[in-house]
Amino acid sequence: MTSPTLREIVQAARARLTAAGIDANEAAMDAALLARHALGWDLARLLAHETEAPPDAFTRAFDPLVARRASREPISSIVGLREFWGLEFEVGPDVLAPRPETEIVVEQALSAGRGFSPASAVGRGFSPASPRLIIDVGTGSGCLAVCLAREFPAARVIATDISERALAVAARNARRHGVESRVEFRRASLLDGVAGPADLVVSNPPYIPAPDIEGLDPEVRDWEPRQALDGGADGLDVVRALLDAVPGVLAPGGSFIMEFGFGQAEAVEDLVRASPLELVRIVADLQQIPRTVVARAGISRPPTADRR
């Protein structure tokens, strides 16, 4: 009897994951990723050998991984890594796995941080083109703090989180990417005990309404830390607290960039307009869903905010 090829084994795993309720395209990617993880191979090597029988120990390593994914354990938890902004980050049950839409925060931070030259700042109170101090509130895995430290090599970064376990993960990610000397991790609730002036404050806060958490996908509901999800009754408790605290640490002209949830754009815009900050724009993701707000301190309010 002919032994099954790697391709056949991976296809059977894909079918098992699809039967478990995982989207077919996601199941195909997950099955291939788990095969690579079990083999220690990259994608090119897997494709080069997919018509061959696998090494003897492969099935013993691969089958338990597929079973874990079929139980709806997140792929990032199984392999222990998640890509964000082209970098690999350690993840696990103590932190949210970085999402693609959170990269918008990095994009907008780059735009804010590099949008003004020192010459244009004269007399207007704008921060210089390269931020000196960046604060990441609720850092989780540290993905925002680490990416911004790499993008702005002259900046100092303070990253806060209420969870010591999350901070430990974030610190390991800072070491992984060589920025540990410029990122200071502090256990704090939001900005408690953190002093400015900061040129840039970023955050991906908890924003899921508490009543909605039970309806989330099992990968999120059952595997990610609830305190990183739960934004209170309407999802905006932490957003309100941030908008109270951020103006006190922002430098004149400094920017505040924050992710928010589906359907929250109008409420977030109203909250920003009621705060001392000035609304710059609300940015949509690739599905044209508003997901990120950019606000600024110390500039006269424009007639209307940009929407794009």
HSE of 104 in the Cβ direction (CA atoms, 13 Å)?
24
Same-domain check for residues 271 and 137: yes
Give the pLDDT mean for 181-203.
95
Same-domain check for residues 112 and 248: yes
Looking at the domain assignment, is residue 80 inside a domain?
no
Looking at the domain assignment, is residue 123 inside a domain?
yes
Looking at the domain assignment, is residue 78 inside a domain?
no
Q: What does the mean pLDDT of the chain come to? A: 90
C-alpha distances (whole Å) from 265 to each of 70, 212, 234 are 35, 17, 13
Band (298; pLDDT cuts 50, 70, 90): confident
Same-domain check for residues 58 and 205: no
Distance, CA of 265 to CA of 262 (rounded, Å):
8
C-alpha distances (whole Å) from 162 to each of 94, 200, 201, 205 are 11, 20, 17, 12
> For residue 300, what pLDDT is reported?
46
User: Which CATH number do you get for residue 268?
Assistant: 3.40.50.150
Same-domain check for residues 54 and 104: no
Same-domain check for residues 163 and 92: yes
Which of 45, 71, 97 is the C-terminal boundary of a domain?
A: 71
Range of 47's domain?
6-71
> For residue 124, what pLDDT is reported?
40
Strands (E), the chain: 81-84, 87-90, 133-137, 156-161, 183-187, 198-203, 250-259, 278-284, 290-296, 306-307
Same-domain check for residues 182 and 302: yes
> For residue 114, what pLDDT is reported?
72
pTM value surpassing 0.85: yes
> For residue 156, what pLDDT is reported?
96
> For residue 299, what pLDDT is reported?
55
Same-domain check for residues 54 and 97: no
What tokens does 264 get?
Answer: 């929250």
Which of 42, 71, 100 is the C-terminal boundary of a domain?
A: 71
159-180 pLDDT tens trace: 999 999 999 999 999 999 999 9
Q: What are 295's strand-pairing partners?
A: 256, 279
Asked whether the predicted pLDDT for residue 246 surpasses 60, the reply is yes
> For residue 2, what pLDDT is reported?
79
Asked whether the predicted pLDDT for residue 304 surpasses 50, the reply is no
Band (117; pLDDT cuts 50, 70, 90): very low
- Domain count within the chain: 2
Same-domain check for residues 127 and 240: yes
Which of 43, 71, 99 is the C-terminal boundary of a domain?
A: 71
Q: Which has the higher per-residue pLDDT, 119 or 11?
A: 11
Q: What are 201's strand-pairing partners?
A: 135, 256
